[in-house]
Amino acid sequence: MAATMQVQDLGRVQEIARVAAANGFGHVFNLIGLTAELAPGKTDMESGPFARRLRQALVQLGPTFVKLGQVLSVRPDILPADVLAEFQTLQDRVPPMDIADVRKVVESELGLPLEDVFEEFDPTPIGSASIAQVHRARLRSGPEVAVKLQRPSIERMIRSDIHILHSLAQLFEGRVALPGIYTPTAIVREFDVAITRELDFLQELKAAERMGNNFANDPDVVIPKVFPRWSTRRLLVMEMIRGQPMSAYMVNQASELSKNLAHRLMEATYKQVFDHGFFHGDPHPGNIFVTDDGKIALLDFGVTGMLTGAMQDTIITAFTSLVFHDADAFSLVVYRAGATKGRIDLKEFRDDCERMMTKYYGASLDDIASPTTLVEVFQLAQRYKIDLPSEFAVLSRSIALIEGQLRALLPGMDIVEEVRPYATRLMTRRFSPERLAHDMARAALQFQGQYKDLPTHVNQIMGDLEGGRLTIVTRDPDAARLRDEMRMGVLRISLALLASTISLGALIFLAAWSPAPFGIPLFGLLGMALTVVGASLFGALGVHVLFAWVFDLDMWRRRLFGVLRFFSWRRSS
């Protein structure tokens, strides 16, 4: 639905600038022409660490920005390690809705009185956050359930803030250097996609159903059942899981129970990544329960990731080469999995990979400092400007959370020895006769198709060559810059010649200064006028040399687009 920005959004922009100034980031807004002054009574907190001040600013700006930090906290490809660590502590503490508002939300979503759906409904929430809160209830059909309901006005507020973020990102583009490999607009676009998915509970329902189907026959993993009949975009009803969070078992004291739980957790992770290609994107200890009968229960599927067959093959090769200390294979598969904008030194990259891998041998889980394995891989790829798929970033953060729990469950255990059986299983499966036969058959089919089309392609090329329609184009990456420099050089030379000619003419006319008919020195006045014109041209030449960036049309086009987007936008109904 087309809409225009509300007037109060301009006040929100000024509020964002004031909070930025209070945390030492006011100069960033000054770059785009926005005044970022401290609010009355506020003090500048720029003396603290950068990451901490950034987290403080997000908390002060409210739920949308806290959620932005939480979404980015699982993206090591976007943010550096110190900012990730701060963002992982973000909590959106908001007072819960009262039961009257809860009833209104439930009844408006289901179109039925609350009592017609639930036999029991606990008015006190078991969890409350900025987007939603969760209540314990019991359906009239019997099952005990957890009811997750969205706050009624949260989507409108988030949409307004996201529009502002899009507009600001356009203005910041090219003027602010970020620590990762993403631009401001790309980060806002990623956040927009993530929050849109999180605001739609039906997406979470589908993810829970898919995860439940994947683990339907697993005796050690429990996925809560969902109830599509009573679920909507803003209301999600799922089975209540009885048990304790995994954090209750992290006592840093190895026991048979903790070892058993650790291996069940590793097995569940292995199956998600390598068997199903669909994994939990935020498996922190609060989202993993241990049921009363000792099973692993996965909760909250707002963040999930999917892996294609090619991605799984990449991860398998990287994982096995890491475990078996093959730096050549590891560096090559990471390089091929990503995209680079320029040439990188593969030998130097391989040496850095080997140095990273060496420290994991003989080290225990509790000896390995953060960042953990895959997060460190992403940071290494960032250093070499290798842009890995975003799914790998979510997976790396997921594995890092799992490693943290294993560190508490299995203190003192050798990480490489613990995962070696899984690597061996992967190698066996990867090079099994069935897999090799499948790969050979697929390669033969691809070759057959290409071979069948080869004569047609050759005839097409020969026909184009004979008819003079074949054109070979070469591209020089520096040609555009050289062309711009030549254009500017020609302009400056032209200005210099014109200014010199006019100035010389002015001197000739001034030399002929004498009274003319009627007593008017026409030649002198003309000489003075030409002197002014010549001086102006010399001044224009100086301005063009010293301030060439002002004449960058692409920059002005980007600024104009940012301003137009700020005052005209589209909002989903």
pLDDT at 563: 62
pLDDT at 182: 65
pLDDT at 401: 80
Task: Mark whether 282 is an active-site residue.
Answer: yes
Q: In the structure encoding, which two tokens stand for residue 402, read together?
A: 């799992």
Q: Tell me the three state secondary structure of residue 474.
A: coil
pLDDT at 5: 46
Concatenating the DSSP letter of every residue in 24-69 gives T-HHHHHTTT---PPPTT----TTS-HHHHHHHHHHHH-HHHHHHH
Concatenating the DSSP letter of every residue in 511-541 gives HT----GGG--HHHHHHHHHHHHHHHHHHHH
pLDDT at 572: 44
Which of the residues 77, 92, 161, 282 is marked catalytic? Answer: 282
Q: In the structure encoding, which two tokens stand for residue 112, read together?
A: 């039925």
Cα–Cα dist 132/138, whole Å: 19
**Residues whose CB falls within 8 Å of the CB of residue 571, separated by 6 or more in sequence, listed in order:** 1, 3, 159, 163
Averaged pLDDT, groups of 10, the chain, 573 residues long: 49 82 78 59 60 87 85 73 79 80 93 94 89 93 93 87 84 67 76 86 94 93 94 94 84 73 88 89 86 90 86 80 79 79 79 79 49 66 78 78 79 66 69 61 62 72 73 67 73 76 71 59 70 76 65 63 59 44
pLDDT at 570: 47
pLDDT at 367: 46
pLDDT at 369: 41
| Alpha helices (H) in 200-286, listed in sequence order | 201-214, 256-270
pLDDT at 550: 59
Q: Parallel, antiparallel, or unpaired for β 221-222 and 296-298?
A: parallel
Q: In the structure encoding, which two tokens stand for residue 453, read together?
A: 């089309």
Domain map of the chain by residue range?
Answer: 1-240, 242-431, 484-569
